[in-house]
Amino acid sequence: QKEVEQNSGPLSVPEGAIASLNCTYSDRGSQSFFWYRQYSGKSPELIMFIYSNGDKEDGRFTAQLNKASQYVSLLIRDSQPSDSATYLCAVNSDTGNQFYFGTGTSLTVIP
Amino acid sequence: DAGVTQSPTHLIKTRGQQVTLRCSPKSGHDTVSWYQQALGQGPQFIFQYYEEEERQRGNFPDRFSGHQFPNYSSELNVNALLLGDSALYLCASSLAGSGNTEAFFGQGTRLTVV
């Protein structure tokens, strides 16, 4: 069973600041990593995925992957109140058929 | 283009009853996965259907069963409901071979067992 660990938070940042969300995973053989955003009572929405070591940027979001440390992070620049949600880290299975999710980190952006 | 649709959105059942949840995948997708999300937890994989067969299964008892139809839509059935089955049930559709990079979730079915 793969394990994905996230700090449950809550994490609070002021509007305009950088929010940093972290995730570690247990299976060194994991290949692909995903970040989802989930608003209260809603379904997860894909923010981005990353395969390769290093950074991947998409607008205000940057995913960072360090396979040697088995660590994935998500940075949100210029945080907005609308970014307030739970952020789920997910690791893909070897077969690519299922996600292993962390418990999520609750983020609150304070206006 | 309709995304992933699930029905019903909310459901209340009594312990011991049976329930059927439905999912229509995003147009062009051929694979459906089901997840259970308890309050305050991340989604847990139940099983995945492709070509009308269960391709992979998570750590859930046989009370959880499913089906996929020729039009790729899917059902999740849960028998002998327990209070602990209360959760948000999520359906995710994807395209086989995409490595889940094209996986999209439906809005979920909130099941309450009383």
Under DSSP, is residue A12 helix (H, G, I), strand (E, B) or coil?
Answer: strand
What is the CA B70 to chain-centroid distance, rounded? 17
Using the beta-carbon criterion (under 8 Å), do A102 and B44 form an inter-chain contact? no
Per-residue pLDDT, B91 = 97
Q: Does B25 touch chain A (CB under 8 A)?
A: no
Per-residue pLDDT, A94 = 77
Write the pLDDT tens digit of every residue in B4-22.
Answer: 999 999 999 999 999 999 9
Element (H, E) at B89: strand B87-94
* Closest residue in A to B10 (Cα–Cα): A41
**Residue (of B26, B30, B4, B14) closest to B89 by Cα position:** B4
For every one of its 114 residues, what pLDDT tens digit does chain B have, with 9 covering 90 and above? Answer: 579 999 999 999 999 999 999 999 999 999 999 999 999 999 999 999 999 999 999 999 999 999 999 999 999 999 999 999 999 999 999 988 777 777 899 999 999 999
Q: Which of A45, A92, A97 sits opposite B56 (nearest CB)?
A: A97
Q: Which of B58, B98, B101 sits opposite A98 (nearest CB)?
A: B58
Residue A96 has pLDDT above 80, yes or no: no
Q: Strands A11-14, A105-110: parallel, antiparallel or unpaired by DSSP?
A: parallel
**Residues whose CB falls within 8 Å of the CB of residue B40, separated by 6 or more in sequence, listed in order:** A103
Per-residue pLDDT, B101 = 75
The residue of A97, A100, A101, A103 whose CB has the most chain B CBs within 10 angstroms, and thus the best one to mutate to test that interface, is A97
Q: Does B84 touch chain A (CB under 8 A)?
A: no
Q: Which of B41, B56, B88 sits opposite A103 (nearest CB)?
A: B41
**Residue (of B94, B54, B19, B14) closest to A99 by Cα position:** B94
> Could you tell me the CA-to-CA distances from A30 to A89, A96, B6 in Å, in that order?
13, 10, 30
- Taking the C-alpha atoms of residue B45 and residue B12, their distance in angstroms, rounded to an integer, is 22
Query: For the residues A23-40, what does the mean pLDDT come to?
Result: 92
Residue A16 has pLDDT above 90, yes or no: yes
Residue A100 has pLDDT above 90, yes or no: yes
Which residues lie across from A62 on neighbouring strands?
A: A57, A75
Q: Calculate the average pLDDT of chain B.
A: 94
* Closest residue in B to A8 (Cα–Cα): B40
Per-residue pLDDT, B1 = 58
Structure tokens, B85: 């089955």
Using the beta-carbon criterion (under 8 Å), do A103 and B99 form an inter-chain contact? no
- Taking the C-alpha atoms of residue B5 and residue B14, their distance in angstroms, rounded to an integer, is 25
**Residue (of B31, B48, B1) closest to B102 by Cα position:** B31
Buried-exposed string B37-55: b where 16+ CB fall within 10 A, e elsewhere? beeeebbbbbbbbbeeeeb
Per-residue pLDDT, B6 = 97
- Taking the C-alpha atoms of residue B31 and residue B8, their distance in angstroms, rounded to an integer, is 20
Q: Does B33 touch chain A (CB under 8 A)?
A: yes
Give the confidence band of A1 by pLDDT, cuts at 50, 70, 90: low
Which residues of chain B lie closer than 8 angstroms to A93, CB-CB? 56
* Closest residue in A to B48 (Cα–Cα): A97
Q: B76, B20 in Cβ contact below 8 A?
A: yes
